[in-house]
Amino acid sequence: MPHLSRSHLLRLPLILASLAIAPAAIAQGMPAGMGDQLAQFSGAMHATATACGSYSEAELAAMKSEQKSAFVAGAVGDAASFERAFAKGEAEGKRRWESLSAPERNSACKDIESQANQLPG
């Protein structure tokens, strides 16, 4: 199965979460629900990495921990909020992957790997 770069898998949720680090930015313009959307996206990416066989459970747990730390440190939300939203995103991601046939999953994983390899870094 394709192996997505750890930096690619982590990059988008962490970049988005880091945009919220400045308290003034949060107070003045972070759209309501954005924090939950970030954590849901992290959960969906976790399901994707699992479906594509890209990482061990230990690697996935470490990435989730890093994402949660960024979420909390950036004042996007608290750890419990992250866990709830992450679980929701992960469940939805799993449901979507399970709805695909094996050839569809394989093709989707290859497409994701190709797109990830086009990202800088």
Could you give the C-alpha distances from 83 to 47, 66, 95, 101, 115, in angstroms and in order? 14, 13, 18, 29, 28
Residues 24-78 pLDDT 10s: 444 445 566 777 888 888 898 889 888 888 788 898 898 899 888 888 887 777 8
Q: What is the mean pLDDT of the chain?
A: 75
Q: CA-CA distance, 92 to 116, in Å (whole number)?
A: 21
Residue the block writes with tokens 């199965």: 1
> In 3-state terms, what secondary structure has residue 118?
coil
More confident residue, 10 or 33: 33
The structural domains of the chain, with segments of one domain joined by +, span 6-18+32-117
Extract the tokens encoding 94.
Answer: 């799993």
